Amino acid sequence: MIIVRTIQEVDNIPVKSVIPYVRNLITNILNAYSSNGSIETVGAVYFIEGVDDVRNYQALGLHEPIAEELFEYINPINDEYSDGCIVINNDYAINLIAKSKYFCGGGCA
């Protein structure tokens, strides 16, 4: 699992096809909610590298396993990856960037 909270950290994502999407997502969040160059006070973007990351929901700050009803939305990024947003509370949300098959519609792990 790779945590992305700044524009600079986007380049740590190993799947280059999702980098433009994540860069745009981080930029939009920064423009709307943060002036310090990090989204850490309002959320995080997690790049999910494998099924073990999905099962380790506590590392995402969740108190229950990932289930479809937790997502505010799930948007496809490309043919293989999607972005799922989970709102934790009124001030904090996380985005999971993962293979579409890891989201519940594609069969939760």
Q: How far apart are CA 72 and CA 12, in angstroms?
A: 26
Find the mean pLDDT for residues 65-79.
88
Whole-number pLDDT of residue 35: 75
Tokens of 62: 């969740």
Considering its fold, how many domains does the chain have in total? 1
**What's this model's pTM, rounded to 2 decimal places?**
0.90
What range does the domain containing 50 cover? 2-106
For the chain, percent of residues with pLDDT exceeding 70: 94
At 11-49, the pLDDT tens digits run: 999 999 999 999 999 999 999 987 789 999 999 999 999
